[in-house]
Amino acid sequence: MKPTIFIADDHPLLIKGLKNLLIEKKMNVIGEAVDGQSALNFILKRKPDIAILDVEMPNLTGIEIARECKKNDLKTKIILITLHKEMDFYLKSKKLNIYGYLLKEFALDEIETCLQSVIHGTPYFSEQVKSISALQTNQQIF
């Protein structure tokens, strides 16, 4: 059975494009939301296998939603999509057992690889995110 996927982003155009891409790839998209509170409500009620969330949304952020999912012991695997390249966001997501972290500028190129990895239980963090984090860590040392 195909895993169920939920998408939340405050940009409807991104949702539409991502949803169309996933449907084209024969993925099972079961819902979408444009704000964090609606996203959390959907996740708590429907318990999708995977939730693709924007980090910055009105009402609740993707990180706050991930925190609530962890607190409620949900098995939903969270993939964050963001414009943020700061190490702080990356480190917060690692602490919350996020399964994926993609930069929006590379998301379309990486989403299929990320989903396949997550479906098989392996976290996927964009190489660009890891490179930026390593660079920022090195700059802090000096």
pLDDT (tens, 9 = 90+) of the chain, 142 residues, equals 899 999 999 999 999 999 999 999 999 999 999 999 999 999 999 999 999 999 999 999 999 999 999 999 999 999 999 887 777 777 777 788 899 999 988 888 899 999 999 999 999 988 877 665 554 544 554 4
- Look up the CATH number of the domain holding residue 36: 3.40.50.2300
Predicted TM-score (pTM) of the model is 0.89
pLDDT of residue 141: 46
List the alpha helices (DSSP H) in the chain: 12-24, 36-46, 62-71, 87-95, 104-119, 127-141
Q: What 8-state DSSP symbol labels residue 3? A: P
* Residue span of the structural domain in which 87 resides: 4-141
CA atoms within 13 A on the CB side of 141: 6
How many C-beta atoms surround the C-beta of residue 87 within 10 A?
17
pLDDT of residue 133: 53
Number of domains in the chain: 1
pLDDT of residue 93: 78
pLDDT of residue 83: 86
pLDDT of residue 52: 98
pLDDT of residue 63: 93
